[in-house]
Amino acid sequence: MGLLSLLRKLKRTEGEARILVLGLDNAGKTTVLKKLSDDDISTITPTQGFNIKSLNHDGFKLNVWDIGGQKAIRPYWRNYFEQTDAMVYVIDSADRKRIEETGLELADLLEEDKLSGVPVIVLANKQDLVTALSPDEVADGLNLYSIRDRPWQIQACSAKTGEGLQDGMEWLVKQVRPTKK
């Protein structure tokens, strides 16, 4: 990839959208990304920095930035806000203890100037686990119904099985794709 391609991904290009994937550590952000690009998901380690993938969705190019979510590096999320077209916020639905923490992080993000009006899709991930909260419970826990300043959506999914991911992507693309004439 190299530094030059980072610069090329930084600029806004017609016919492409920049998607930011955020969420707490171990939410499954990298797994979501890898599953979407049909990569092997058996050996994923905590992301120390970021991963970038270009996804093609029905002729439309998505530059997806998956950003590490460990507490120590969350203050650096801002590095990546510039030129964001849509945000994917990934939740470990089985991690009941940290629903409040992830809700607070999301609330902070929604108040960021540079992300104002940016559509957000919340992925209630890990639905394959029996202890997972339902999407409704997640939406409640995160107080999503109070969001009025942007399009938003909650989507149940399992990055492991891939279930729900395509539906989520379709909603996302609808938000960022320029309307056809």
Q: Say how far residue 76 (Cα) sits from the centre of its chain.
A: 16
Is 130 near another protein (CB under 8 A)? no
* 166 annotated active-site: no
Does 180 contact another protein by CB under 8 A?
no
CB < 8 Å & 24+ apart, contacts of 169-176: 169/36, 169/55, 169/57, 171/121, 172/19, 172/62, 172/86, 172/88, 172/119, 172/121, 173/17, 173/57, 173/58, 173/60, 173/62, 175/86, 175/119, 175/151, 176/17, 176/19, 176/62, 176/85, 176/86, 176/119
Instruction: Give the binding-site size for another protein (rule: CB under 8 A).
Output: 19
Q: Decide: is 15 part of the binding site for another protein (CB under 8 A).
A: no
When asked if residue 79 is in the footprint of another protein (CB under 8 A), the reply is yes
**Is residue 65 near another protein by the rule CB under 8 A?**
no
- Is 3 annotated to bind ligand? no
Among 37, 76, 108, 149, binds another protein (CB under 8 A): 76
Residue 72 or residue 130: which is nearer to another protein going by CB? 72
Taking a C-beta distance cutoff of 8 angstroms, is the pair 163, 146 a contact? Answer: no
Query: What whole-number distance in Å separates Cα of residue 140 and Cα of residue 158?
Result: 19
- Residue placing its CB nearer to another protein in the complex, 13 or 134: 13
Please identify, among the stretches 4-12, 130-138, 154-162, 164-172, the one whose residues bind another protein according to the rule CB under 8 A: 4-12
Catalytic residues: 70
Residues in touch with another protein (CB under 8 A): 1-5, 7-8, 10-11, 48-50, 68, 72-73, 76, 78-79, 82
